[in-house]
Structure 1
Amino acid sequence: MRRVAPILLAAVMATPAAAQGPLLNGLFADHAVVQRDRPLPVFGRARPGEAVTVTLGDRTATATAGADGAWRADLPALAAGGPYTLEAKAASGAAQTVKDVLVGDVWLCSGQSNMELPVERGNNSWSEIRSANDDGLRLAYVDHADSRTPLAAFSKPPAWKAAKPDAVGSFSAACYYMARELRKTDRTPLGLVHASWGGSAIEAWLSPAALRKAGDYEDGLQTLELSLKDRPAADRRWGETIKAWWSKGHGGTAAGPWAGSGDWTPAPQGLGVWESWGVPALAAFDGVVWFETSVTLTAAQAKGAASLEIGMVDEVDTTFVNGVGIGSTSGAGTARTYPLAAGSLKAGANRIVVSAFDTYANGGMYGDAARALFLADGTRIPLTAWRYQVEPKATGEPPRAPWDTLSGLSTLYNGMLAPIGPYAFKGFAWYQGESNAGRPQTYQALLTQLFAERRAGQAADMPALVVQLANYGKPQLAPENSGWAQLREAQRVAVAKDGHAALAVITDIGDPSDIHPTNKQDVGKRLARGARRLAGQAVTSGPSPVSARRVGETVEVRFEQVAERLAARGSDHAIGFELCDAVACRFADAKVEGDKAVVAVPAGLTPTRVRFAWADAPTFNVFDLSGLPLGPFEIAVAP
């Protein structure tokens, strides 16, 4: 045995302590900002049962790691200031030092692509990036990560950076401009933690407990839980869910495409983008296209386990073999490989069916060379001669698998929010809703639970700021039903009922032809205005309806949060009002006076509701004298 020198032996003996990883949660890193004026939770992981002491400035606290290694120590509150050094020391000798820590206000910004859109893609980006120079504003980005179970640590620890050109360009524009606006009147250090993912639905950002409080998600959550214990059983169960969706849309018919029914058309060799096939019905099609092929096997070939590769699917697939669900994956750039247990295949013809669901831009199956069935003995059987059929739009959108990265249940909560743990925050800013516009009826309850969950372990009155959906879509030519308008109303009502939330209305600064409007400077200013109002400052955050009542041949609508008075721009008439009865809605002539609107009742109509700017991309001209728009709404008319 080779003799180990004493110094080297000491290093070897210290290795287990070092190998346990950092003592502190990943958000406690150089240049971090921690929350002022309240007890400060500091937390991380150590050896089970080990004592950990943490020090920040002149504050010290000690905690003991639990059986799972998790520990938390609460330091006494500190006033704004710094920089400080944060130290954590374990009884084993493991230690960690974090330098240049500021104490101030910390905001969590989250949502989908419009929150994720970086400064470098927004208006005036060249100048905005080069003029950034604020060491008192620190930025931390949480990497994309999804998970079927809550993660205890980040897949990649966030790095805190000062708001300088090298950091600002790639950071959330809406979040950055909000903080920059707040810093103009309050020089308290600010920290921003940004956790967003383009295309994500709100359900992905809520825990299972919150989803259960918000609505009927039990079946999906049970399927998700089953996937952790028995993945093939969960895939089969999900296949049955897709079958039930299809059957409901086809009058209860039991045998669908997975069983070979329907009218199939030979697909182009190589498949690929269906918009490029030259088929008029698919030239601009977003929805479900079913693909089918078959493989003939001998009894010996079919006996064992196998593996199915179908290449990449834009953007969601549910795949069946012999009528049984064997997998569902989201992500246009993700190659699909599905294991097949023994007994999945049979002697003779084996039918392989793929339901490909696309919601935006191109759709299809990619990677012709990758599509093959691999048998247990290594034999590769190419999958060719594909056929297709287009699912009618009337069937509606299929449900998403509960493990779907962006539209599943709790996947982004687990991967991106759970690792944040009890890190203390001043407030929360949320910019999301586009991916839920197809099901607006559930959004108010989900948003209410999002507020509650983000406040758990924080101040009970922690401010919640919500960016309402911008104007996007075709011009409005007549009163219409609008999923975007309904979702905006869900956002408005959830905020109005909360008491500690503010709404940033942006239906005047979007781009009807671009779902990602680039004017994020004004979005940030309106978020900051809402934060100031919630902090008790004498500012308004935009006109909001209070009541509507019938007065003779008019309906009077009163508003709060009006700066000075309402004004109709470019006309002496207020554009954008509608009155509705139980059957239909009609445009109505209106004028604004002070903090109210007077809406003339059209002949023959007995209005029960009044609504404003009710369209995907509404046309309206009512603002208050601060320049903030009257936001979309629908309220009942009192007699």
Structure 2
Amino acid sequence: MTVCARSLRHGLLVAGALLANAVSAAPLLHDLFQDHVVLQRDKPISVWGRAAPGEALTVSLGEASVKAQADSSGRWRSSLPGMSTGGPHRLSVLAASGDKQVVEDVMIGDVWLCSGQSNMVLQVHRALDSRSEILNSTNDSIRMLTVPTASNAAAQTEFAGKVQWLKASPKTVPDFSAACLYMARELQKKDKVPMGLIAAAWGGSKIESWMSADALRAIGGYERGLEALAASAKDPTTGAAKWGAIWEAWWREQTKDRAGFEPWSAKPRGDWKIAPMERGYWEEWGVPELAEYNGMLWYRTNVTLTKAQAAQKATLAVGRVDESDHVWVNGRLIGAAGPGSERSYELPENTLRAGDNSIVITVLDTYATGGLPGPIESRALKFADGTSVVLDKEWRYLMPPENAAFPPRAPWEAVAGLGVINNGMIAPLSNLSLRGVAWYQGESNVDEAHRYQALLTRFMADWRKQFGADLPFFVVQLANFGAAPTQPVESDWAELREAQRLAVKADANAGLAVAIDLGERNDIHPANKQDVARRLARAVRHVIYKDAAPPSGPVPVSARREGDSVAVEFTDITGKLVAYSAAQPIGFEICGAAANTCEFAAATIQGRRVLLKSPNASSATRVRFCWAESPVCTLYDQAPLPAGPFQIDVN
């Protein structure tokens, strides 16, 4: 090699190194913006990230380019003009310092936020016909991103963990949300545009945890919990004290216990029985009343400490808890947590004392097994000097009164807290342009079904403040779950379905996917997510694309008294009304004004209406249909889609 050739080669290597160094070591773009990202078509495109404070930047997408400048904290945001469907494009950010970040294979299409609890989480590999679905899943125009589960007392700007946009393929879809993926696939059958799917869901989560603090304050009733949450973020001891006062007042109101005689106090009332802790979950204790028990259970034990032990800083290890707990030491609430890893609480100063110390834990279980299933050695007091005392002495348990409601959950609890999932998982997405939201949630709010219509209405308004006033919502109504009824019943599940129906009905930019015939009696997680997705897609086409086909199945319009009968008129019928497996539809009830006054009614289809007859039809004030946890309902249209559950006044 000649000297000139060597010099030229050296110069090229140096230039290459300088060019490589021009790409920023610290990303300029938010983690959302990565290779294969899909950005929303026909809307201004928000792009944001971090740079040196005050630094000027140039943001380019395709042929469009805009200027931006980082604020004093280093954050910057820009808005590029809307673009039509297409790609792939290149997104780049160039800082005045020479730092640069480039994102390849950017597509312009429709971006969907799929959120809710475990039925939205439910992965393709757990869904119906998963082997075939996975094998045939390759689709470069569907890109998926899963937001890591996270909760926080304050709104976050970054994700809690690494994220990645993945093209749909047999390697990438097995762990992605089945309902979300299948909805996009259904939509592409008629609207062949790239689909960007963002799954942000958490099993067991209540709707309040997905809402902002401002939205919860607007509803009312959450102020004290939000104060405790804010206090806890600054000082856990203060937060626990504030929350303890709220929780303990709730208990006294429920039980009429006098101060000093509550389960956490020195002289607790009630018949405390020996707890066979070595058997794990309380369903496995051999106690008949606990064999299928979902609810709250008190645990209590005592430990004797020396003066030296009591004077040290200490941590109380509780071990595994299923699902959530509150813990008192010597009558003082020292912490509470929701479902998650093994529990451990730092004890505030002066909590312990020489001699006898009481430890009381209340565990709330809402589904399947419950209790303190960890090994005995997982429950211990651990001291600053490295020693520990295992809590292996006798434990006792106490059931709450039969009429006690489910207890309030700690505001910092992830799945049942106040705004904390919104802060951890949704806030990092704020101002992203979306086509819409698919919302699959409600099972965890059944115990407060009477509040759910207000909660869902405020929730939709809340997210529209974050993502745009015209953001459409598509809500999956609760599916059937549990035993079929043999007589009319009052049902929180039915009441929550009605809350979902009414909230969507009142919102011109929302659609409902009825799932009352898609559930499984013994599994709260039905595997048939394909039909859920088809019904979501149908609602999307009606609301967004203005498809003339009705958004769901038959919908009641009115109920009118006609002599000794009541006629229920329906709309949104495809073809005509039909009854499956019988000459007449079943599932209709005639009711008076008070609870527990409903009776099954004989029903006859007459064109677009159903005529109901019962002995008390002449005095009926309400009609109910499909009103139970797991009702059997046979009224459909020729789509074929079911008439969904409803309650309607008789005029």
Please confirm whether the aligned pair reaches a TM-score higher than 0.5, indicating the same fold. Answer: yes
CA–CA separation in structure 2 for the residues paired with 1:405 and 1:226 = 16
Change in Cα spacing, 1:303 to 1:622, as seen in structure 2 (3 Å) is same
CA–CA separation in structure 2 for the residues paired with 1:466 and 1:189 = 22
Cα drift, residue 549 of structure 1: 1.9
CA–CA separation in structure 1 for the residues paired with 2:253 and 2:638 = 51
AA partner of residue 452 (structure 1)? A
Change in Cα spacing, 1:78 to 1:16, as seen in structure 2 (3 Å) is closer
Percent of residue pairs bearing the same amino acid type: 48
CA–CA separation in structure 2 for the residues paired with 1:290 and 1:176 = 42
AA partner of residue 494 (structure 2)? A
Residue aligning to 2:299: 291
**Residue correspondence of structure 1 range 110-259 to structure 2 within 5 A:** 110-254=115-259, 255-259=261-265
Could you report, residue by residue, the CA deviation over 1:352-394 in whole angstroms, capped at 9, with x for unpaired residues?
Answer: 1111111222222213112222334443222122222222342
CA–CA separation in structure 1 for the residues paired with 2:88 and 2:23 = 29
Cα drift, residue 257 of structure 1: 0.9
Residue aligning to 1:3: none
CA–CA separation in structure 2 for the residues paired with 1:356 and 1:16 = 55
Cα drift, residue 595 of structure 1: 2.4
Residue aligning to 1:536: 546
Residue aligning to 1:600: 613
AA partner of residue 319 (structure 2)? G
AA partner of residue 548 (structure 2)? A
User: Does residue 351 of structure 1 match 2:358?
Assistant: yes
Could you report, residue by residue, the CA deviation over 1:393-413 in whole angstroms, capped at 9, with x for unpaired residues?
Answer: 421211110011111111211
Cα drift, residue 230 of structure 1: 1.7
SS where residue 150 of structure 2 aligns? coil
5+ residue gaps, structure 2, are 1-12
Cα drift, residue 473 of structure 1: 0.8
Residue aligning to 1:86: 91
Residue aligning to 1:268: 276
Choose the corresponding residue for 1:452, options 444, 456, 461: 461
Residue aligning to 2:42: 37
Is residue 287–residue 393 contact of structure 1 (8 Å, CA) maintained in 2? no
Is residue 601–residue 607 contact of structure 1 (8 Å, CA) maintained in 2? no
AA partner of residue 507 (structure 2)? D
CA–CA separation in structure 1 for the residues paired with 2:320 and 2:413 = 15
Change in Cα spacing, 1:294 to 1:528, as seen in structure 2 (3 Å) is same
CA–CA separation in structure 1 for the residues paired with 2:420 and 2:641 = 36
Residue aligning to 2:414: 405
User: Does residue 279 of structure 1 match 2:287?
Assistant: yes
Residue aligning to 1:582: 593
AA partner of residue 388 (structure 2)? R
Cα drift, residue 602 of structure 1: 2.4
CA–CA separation in structure 1 for the residues paired with 2:87 and 2:22 = 34
Cα drift, residue 349 of structure 1: 1.3
Change in Cα spacing, 1:370 to 1:571, as seen in structure 2 (3 Å) is closer
Cα drift, residue 560 of structure 1: 2.2
User: Does residue 499 of structure 1 match 2:505?
Assistant: no
Cα drift, residue 462 of structure 1: 2.4
Residue aligning to 2:110: 105
Residue aligning to 1:620: 633
CA–CA separation in structure 1 for the residues paired with 2:411 and 2:463 = 22
User: Does residue 570 of structure 1 match 2:577?
Assistant: no
Is residue 288–residue 355 contact of structure 1 (8 Å, CA) maintained in 2? yes
User: Does residue 360 of structure 1 match 2:367?
Assistant: yes
Moved more, 508-517 or 98-107: 508-517
Residue aligning to 2:10: none
Change in Cα spacing, 1:325 to 1:62, as seen in structure 2 (3 Å) is same
Change in Cα spacing, 1:361 to 1:496, as seen in structure 2 (3 Å) is same
C-alpha root-mean-square deviation of aligned residues, in Å? 2.1
How many residues of Structure 1 are paired with residues of Structure 2 in the alignment? 629
Choose the corresponding residue for 1:72, options 58, 77, 84: 77
Is residue 42–residue 84 contact of structure 2 (8 Å, CA) maintained in 1? yes
Cα drift, residue 328 of structure 1: 0.6
User: Does residue 436 of structure 1 match 2:445?
Assistant: yes
Could you report, residue by residue, the CA deviation over 1:504-558 in whole angstroms, capped at 9, with x for unpaired residues?
Answer: 0011121112111111111100000000001211111222222222222222222
CA–CA separation in structure 2 for the residues paired with 1:190 and 1:517 = 25
AA partner of residue 245 (structure 2)? E
Cα drift, residue 238 of structure 1: 2.1
**Residue correspondence of structure 1 range 459-498 to structure 2 within 5 A:** 459-498=468-507
Is residue 209–residue 417 contact of structure 2 (8 Å, CA) maintained in 1? yes
5+ residue gaps, structure 1, are 1-6
Is residue 428–residue 454 contact of structure 1 (8 Å, CA) maintained in 2? no
User: Does residue 302 of structure 1 match 2:338?
Assistant: no
Change in Cα spacing, 1:15 to 1:350, as seen in structure 2 (3 Å) is farther
User: Does residue 415 of structure 1 match 2:428?
Assistant: no
- Normalising by the residue count of structure 2, what TM-score does the alignment of the two structures yield? 0.93
